[in-house]
Structure 1
């Protein structure tokens, strides 16, 4: 009998549900890592009621968050955790008794846990879906390594920590088959896990994440904000204010870690519901998704094969900077669309205003 831990944020719980019958061949546990999970106790209780997992473990990092000043950037906190094994072990607060560890995606947070587990000589496997395809794809998968991971490796090497490499190809899995061709040139070395259709599991997913009709996004224009430095946060507020003024049917989908307030702007209040659950329940084909370069805008196409309009604003925010990875992935998204005109990249605020007027027609 094989005992699993599944390292997953709330979004990846969805995917572990979809693949569990086609992948997990024995009893397994889920370890829920809660960087931005609200109502975790209730969430885990519902999962146990549904008999999805044999055991659910909630790892609470609230103590860490309380001991660090609010202005300390999220990335800095994670780097500190990487370099302090005792802090990591105290943070995890769980014995790694699993025979195999399944890590979904390559967020910094999951990479932290993957790294620590690998040091403890557990058998680590990784599963990759559409989440993280912009920032968290490693060079091994054909897209350049993100700068933060290069920094982590350099610091760990200089400090005497062992370097943790990715598992070999036979331990890498994709649960979105279309991504192998889109991202990796149909590399047969990357294994495909057959997953259930998400819509056929919508009942159980809605019960777990407490989705109700009131949580449906009826607005046409949805902006996904992000967390930047002070200057870019100011620009983002200006852009949101302009969008709110020009689009009557506008709502802000705020990043869970962004605590800024937006006066006079309608903000989506069901922040505990993962975006992917919202996607399954809402008709997105007529929506206009607006973002600098948020991963959320890849999910409708890669997960549900629907094609909302997507307006990427990275050229307004990062003028003069080379963003080869971002541009490559947006180009791949555009190529996967039937109606390629729905992927829009304005080069200026004036151009954005014209695009918004065209969207109203």
Structure 2
């Protein structure tokens, strides 16, 4: 049997996160990295020496690769992805996809869901093992969602875009994946603090089916947090994406065991009351979600099947992120006018 040809990867951008991509691609036996492209002369010298990967121009790398992995600043996503897709090459574009919805729409028009080229957007939390485990164990039909995605300030990473695009967009993608309903209303506020762009944001998103989400994100927090909580009539799920664990409370008939479980969330349920909560603690094997994400996209490209995260998923998350940021700016303008 003739072995399948390995998918050839071309990496665009080898900054801090791009280097993570490179190291993970090199750990996947089904692919081969044929080159990289970066405008930094130091990177052009260091990467070939350390990883034995050649430096190429944009056009050279697109010609050599089957799959373009685009990990450059957002401002350059559109141009590189368009070149790749026009050339018939698959494209992995890191979040937040593109600068504008018009750019995203054009890139989508260059894909073919039947035979490719395929396009995906880098929403790593979809591949987090604890989130996948929760989806299998606890059917999510929330009426209220609360999320906190907090990070420490790093002036060399992400400050070219608002925190909505850097951090919150991960929770936006999860939110839209879980709540399959059009958005009906958005209220949001936020402010720049240490950078020229919004560093902290809170948004309330309401959906036509009645679900409400309260989303908070900050990149000026003293410590990191990546949590989402899902509340629904059948119970409650708290998912810790960073520590890859979850607390699940499912509504059941009351019992002594359930009464003890209820204490975990400080709900005082009398012994003779008919309902209580059954508690389950979920943990996941520590897994490299980025490597899983990259491997899965390479596999779908090789097999000619749709990626787990579609280009349309990226478009929809970008649209809601832009709407939230616009609401932030409108609120900020209103606040400034009355001071």
Given the two structures, how large is their TM-score scaled by the length of structure 2? 0.35
Higher relative contact order (CA 8 A, sep 6+): 2
Higher strand content, 1 or 2:
2
